Structure 1
Amino acid sequence: MNSFVFKRLLSVVPVVLVVLVTVFLLLHIGPGDPAAMIAGENATREQIEEIRQRLMLDRPLLEQLWLYLGNVASLNFGESVYSGFPVMSLILQRVEPTAILAIYTMVLSILISIPMGVWAAWRAGTTLDRALVIASVIGFSVPVFVIGYALVEIFALRLRWFPVQGYKSLADGFLACIRSLTLPAITLAFLFSALVARIARATMLEVLSEDYIRTARAKGARNRRVLIVHALKNIGVPVVTVIGTSFAALLGGVVITESVFNIPGMGRLTVDAILTRDYPVVQGVLISFSFVLIAINLLVDLSYALFDPRVRQ
């Protein structure tokens, strides 16, 4: 088991290096002078040169990369060109709403999608099964912002059950925080639940056709025992895999959803940084999102050992 964990941790190192080098090169692969683009059309030569020195663009490329990797290793992402604040401080200020929204969405999606997918497979061919397939296709096809605006129109403007937009921090109370993020979480859960439910249904249909399921039924095992004890455990690996891999889509949806609901999170910070050409902030946010995805995929990898002991060998 220890060797399994060590190998998985070791495999993360080249991925991290590739991500860091790729994010670093984003500032250099575009056409034109990055410092001039950041400064704007009306900037003077002195202002452009000042930005070039602040971003270390006046140094050789390999030296820039070495200094950049050293700064990232010490969690120093530089300073914002637009506001002058440290990028890490800006990220820490915005991480709470994004983290709570992502966790809220994942919990909501898992609690809805897995039971629906399993039950639809158990009742394959029935009206419930067809309804799930149709709902998952709709949820996976409709853009996130369309779902968001529809939910705002129904539940915020007409029924007035939830606020139209904005965010209440945990300091204002847990219930107030959850209430302010319910509509954004439901919006993201449409996409996330549709994918997980379809995979859960397809995997459960395959498991239910296995010989050991027929053997359990032939021995007189109750349907509930067959479903929970024999079948449910064996869909763990593919379902956990799709949850981990679709987390990237969830983070992409967070960027759009936070803009729709005016939530001051990482998504809004990303959009604002792109609009103001604040490259240090863009790089810092991309690295943060990438590290989260790498950590999620690592946890998914390690969780395989819980569902399938053969993975540890």
Structure 2
Amino acid sequence: MSNFVVRRLLSVIPIAFIVLITVFLLLHIGPGDPAALIAGENATRDQIEAIRERLFLDRPLLEQLFLYLSNVAHLDLGQSVYSGFPVLKLILQRVEPTAVLAVSTLILSVLIAVPMGVWGAWRAGSAIDTFLIVASVVGFSVPVFVIGYVLVDLFALRAGWLPVQGYKPLSSGFWNCLRSITLPSITLSFLFSALVARITRATMLEVLAEDYIRTARAKGANNRRILIVHALKNIGVPVVTVIGTSFAALLGGVVITESVFNIPGMGRLTVDAILTRDYPVVQGVLIVFSFVLIAVNLLVDLSYALFDPRVRQ
């Protein structure tokens, strides 16, 4: 088991290094002078030169890369060109809303999607199975922002049950925070739930067709025992895998959802940085999002040992 964990931890190092190099090259792969693009059309030559010096663009490329990696290693993600504040400080100010939104969406999606997928496979061909398939297609097809505006119209504007937009921090009270994050979480969970439910259903159908399930039925095991004891524990690896791999889609949806509901999170910070050509902030957010994905996938890999003892070898 310890060797398995060590191998997985060591595999993260080259992935993180490739991510950092890729993010660094974002300033250099496009045409034109990066400093001029950041400064804008009306910038003077002195302003462009100041940006070039601040971002070390006046140095050789390899020296720029070394300085960039050294700064990141010391948790220095640079300074915002637009506001002048450290990028890390701006990100830390926006972490809580995004983390609360992502965690609440993940919990809500798993609580809804996994039981629906299992039940749909158990009752394959029934009305609930048909409903699951239709709901999954709708979840995949309808854009997140459309779902968000529909939910705002129904539950905020018409019913008045929930706030239209904004975010209440955890310091204002758990229920105030939960109330402000309910509509965004439901909106974002549509896509995530659809994906997890479809994979859960497909995996459960394959498991229920296995020989050991037929053997358990032949021995007189009741349906509850077959479903919980024999079937559920064998869908763990595929379901956890799809939850981990689709986390990237969840983070992508966070950017849109935060813009729709005016949540001051990292997604909104990303949009504002792109609109103002604030490349250091964009790079910093990309690094954070990438490292979160790396951590999630590492946890998914480590969780395989809980579901399948063979991977520990």
Query: Which TM bucket (shorter chain)?
Result: over 0.9
SS at match of 2:77: coil
Partners of 1:137 and 1:37 in 2: how far apart? 41
> Offset of 1:287 from its aligned partner?
0.2
Indicate the residue corresponding to 1:116 in structure 2. 116
Deviation string for 1:76-134 (max 9, x for gaps)? 10000000000000000000000000000000000000000001111111111111001
Deviation string for 1:184-227 (max 9, x for gaps)? 00001000000000000010010011111111111111110110
Partners of 2:170 and 2:13 in 1: how far apart? 35
Alignment of 1:19-34 (within 5 A): 19-34=19-34
Partners of 1:102 and 1:89 in 2: how far apart? 20
SS at match of 2:148: helix
Indicate the residue corresponding to 2:303 in structure 1. 303
SS at match of 1:306: helix
Indicate the residue corresponding to 2:148 in structure 1. 148
Deviation string for 1:288-313 (max 9, x for gaps)? 00000000000000101100000111
Indicate the residue corresponding to 2:216 in structure 1. 216
Indicate the residue corresponding to 1:138 in structure 2. 138
> Offset of 1:48 from its aligned partner?
0.8
> Offset of 1:14 from its aligned partner?
1.0
Partners of 1:73 and 1:17 in 2: how far apart? 11
Amino acid across the alignment from 2:186:
I
Alignment of 1:54-69 (within 5 A): 54-69=54-69
Partners of 2:208 and 2:151 in 1: how far apart? 37
Partners of 2:177 and 2:60 in 1: how far apart? 47
Indicate the residue corresponding to 2:72 in structure 1. 72
Partners of 1:218 and 1:41 in 2: how far apart? 76
Q: TM-score, normalised by structure 2?
A: 0.99
> Offset of 1:44 from its aligned partner?
1.2
SS at match of 1:310: helix
User: How much identity, in percent, do the aligned residues show?
Assistant: 81
The answer to whether the aligner puts 1:95 opposite 2:91 as a matched pair is no
Amino acid across the alignment from 1:248:
A
Amino acid across the alignment from 2:160:
R
Stretches of structure 1 lacking an aligned partner (at least 5 in a row): none
Amino acid across the alignment from 2:312:
R
Amino acid across the alignment from 2:195:
L
- Name the Cα RMSD after superposition: 0.6
Partners of 2:261 and 2:240 in 1: how far apart? 29
Amino acid across the alignment from 2:175:
L
Aligned length: 313
Indicate the residue corresponding to 2:162 in structure 1. 162
Indicate the residue corresponding to 2:292 in structure 1. 292
SS at match of 2:235: helix
The answer to whether the aligner puts 1:42 opposite 2:42 as a matched pair is yes
Deviation string for 1:263-299 (max 9, x for gaps)? 0000000000000000100000000000000000000
